[in-house]
Amino acid sequence: MNCWSATDAAGATLRNNEARPVMPFPELFIYDTAAELFEAAAHEFAVATSAAVKSRSKFTVALSGGSTPKALYSLLADRYASELPWNKMYFFFGDERHVPPNDPDSNYRMANEALLSRVRVPPANVFRVHAEEKDAAKAAQAYEQALRDFFSVKPGEFPRFDLVLLGVGPDGHAASLFPESAALAETERWVVANWVEKFKTHRITFTYPVINNAACVMFLSSGADKAAIVHQLLENPKAGLPSQAVRPVEGRLLWMIDRAAAAQLT
């Protein structure tokens, strides 16, 4: 497996999931503090990068948005700016809000300010969603085409990212695969414009086939406000929430959380 071994996660309380008849194989790592969580996540990101570059001379990652990963991105820029082969690393976005890149809600803007503008990654290695496009479906199509041009896989195949980062939405959404939204049923498209009724807007998002074809998916969750949903997702298999359908076909599924987010786990 070109991701990393479970023992690499220094300082984690590794709980195998035998005792938890939940999703087939998440590897759960719980850290005492948010700082320790992001330290470990940055370490794993670096280990995954080195492994991929060593075996395939490149590392492909889909960044997540929202607020949680910002601390990881900042730490990567602070600590690994001179250590990682940024010219061999390719950055994509697992989802994006339907806003221009300079909008405060833009996932690209967040990641660019926290990481991409602070390290020597060639601009050509950063693939953002052109969400300034008024027609969200066109933005999704164009992004799918950008992935197809980059990954150039056979018809019917899906791209295989080395790493897909995901946050945990309070309603159990992953990327922008929200409960009761159309994109949950997508089995062929790589990227779609998904209407999110509660926000009355589209989100441009990877679909399950792309996420579940990754070599490694890392969920990151921090803070007491995530404890209830983390408990639901990890201990209530019948909840049927979008994050529970994230199951890499041939890859690893890691849950990296802090003790506050783990507070309701039994």
Binding site for ligand 6PG (CB under 6 A): 64-68, 95, 97, 107, 167-169, 173, 175-176
Q: How far is the CB of 174 from ligand 6PG (least distance, A)?
A: 6
Measured in degrees and rounded to the nearest 5, phi and psi for residue 159 equal -70, 150
DSSP annotation string for 17-86: GGG--SSS-EEEEEESSHHHHHHHHHHHHHHHHHHHHHHHS-EEEEE--SSTTHHHHHHHHHHHTTTS-G
Q: How far is the CB of 62 from ligand 6PG (least distance, A)?
A: 10
Q: DSSP letter for 207, please.
A: -
Q: How far is the CB of 176 from ligand 6PG (least distance, A)?
A: 6
**Nearer to ligand 6PG among residue 51 and residue 248 (C-beta):** 248
CB count, 10 Å around CB of 112? Answer: 18
Q: How far is the CB of 131 from ligand 6PG (least distance, A)?
A: 11
**Nearer to ligand 6PG among residue 97 and residue 109 (C-beta):** 97
95-97 sheet: strands from edge to edge = 95-97, 201-206, 191-196
Q: How far is the CB of 140 from ligand 6PG (least distance, A)?
A: 14
**Nearer to ligand 6PG among residue 59 and residue 108 (C-beta):** 108
**Nearer to ligand 6PG among residue 51 and residue 92 (C-beta):** 92
**Nearer to ligand 6PG among residue 85 and residue 101 (C-beta):** 101
Q: DSSP letter for 154, please.
A: P
Give residues with Cβ within 8 angstroms of 52, minimum separation 6.
Answer: 2, 58, 59, 60, 162, 215
